[in-house]
Amino acid sequence: MSDASNLGLFVCFEGIDGSGKTTHSRLIVERLCALGYDAVYTTEPTRWSEPGKKLRESFFAPTRLPVEDEFKLFLKDRLFHVKSEVIPLLNDGKIVVTDRYYFSSVAYQGARGLDWQYILEENEKIAIIPHLVIFLDLPVDVALDRIASERTEGVNTFEKEESLRKVKDIYLLLADRFPKLITKIDATREIFEIQKEILKLIKQVQNNKQ
């Protein structure tokens, strides 16, 4: 794995489902563009690669893919994302804001029982290290309430709650392990307050890099 290009800035958002990643990554891209920066939103799993499409289909299947197979698809999709989007955009000097990256594999496939050190090592072979990882920290019950209030169909909350707790524990472990890379943000607050903190953080990292 190599560091992100010196030209652009690579920021990624991580957190459990419903923690606000899509909201904040999209809003910060709009804000940065309004301030004159050249910022671009990307997401994983991607919508265009074959593994990305397979993964998105699998989310609606009655049974989950075996965790090893699921992990390999995420890894292949990530390679596609890095090569076809992240690297070219960084080389163009852009701020790349991605909604999920390899920490999602560590947390989610780790929560399904795959050794998280192994997941990290496999990712380190193909991914590039971002300049900043923003972990949106939200209690599982609050995240589930937010998801439930935006959906008409029900969420299987019991099963979801248990697995999201495991996912969150791994994210917290990663944040402890990589304190310089991963910044934990209290996501229980109002959207505008969180955005202010995110903008400040990105500007700081941008300035330190120059």
Distance in angstroms (rounded) separating the CA atoms of residues 38 and 32? 7
Give the three-class secondary structure for 136: strand
Token pair listed for 198: 């995110």
Using the rule CB under 6 A, is 157 a contact of ligand TYD?
Answer: no
Toward ligand ADP, which CB reaches closer, 17 or 161? 17
Contact with ligand TYD (CB under 6 A) among 10, 41, 80, 108: 108
Which of ligand TYD, ligand ADP, none binds 49 (CB below 5-8 Å, type-dependent)? Answer: none
Distance in angstroms (rounded) separating the CA atoms of residues 79 and 160? 28
Toward ligand ADP, which CB reaches closer, 57 or 150? 150
CB of 203 to ligand TYD, least distance (A): 25
Residues lying near ligand ADP in the complex (CB under 6 A) are found at 15, 17-23, 146, 150, 190-191, 194
Toward ligand ADP, which CB reaches closer, 5 or 43? 43
174: burial class by Cβ within 10 Å (0-12, 13-18, 19+)?
Answer: buried
Distance in angstroms (rounded) separating the CA atoms of residues 119 and 105? 7
Toward ligand TYD, which CB reaches closer, 37 or 184? 184
CB of 195 to ligand TYD, least distance (A): 18
Using the rule CB under 6 A, is 44 a contact of ligand TYD?
Answer: yes
**Under a CB-based contact definition with an 8 Å cutoff, are residues 13 and 21 in contact?**
yes
Q: Which helix (H) or strand (E) holds 118?
A: helix 116-126
Instruction: Please report, as a single letter, which amino acid is at residue 31.
Output: R
Distance in angstroms (rounded) separating the CA atoms of residues 203 and 39? 13
Distance in angstroms (rounded) separating the CA atoms of residues 57 and 71? 15
Using the rule CB under 6 A, is 45 a contact of ligand TYD?
Answer: yes
Toward ligand ADP, which CB reaches closer, 5 or 135? 135
Using the rule CB under 6 A, is 206 a contact of ligand TYD?
Answer: no
Which of ligand TYD, ligand ADP, none binds 146 (CB below 5-8 Å, type-dependent)? Answer: ligand ADP
Q: Residue 10's beta-bridge partner residues? A: 96
Contact with ligand TYD (CB under 6 A) among 23, 105, 135, 171: 105
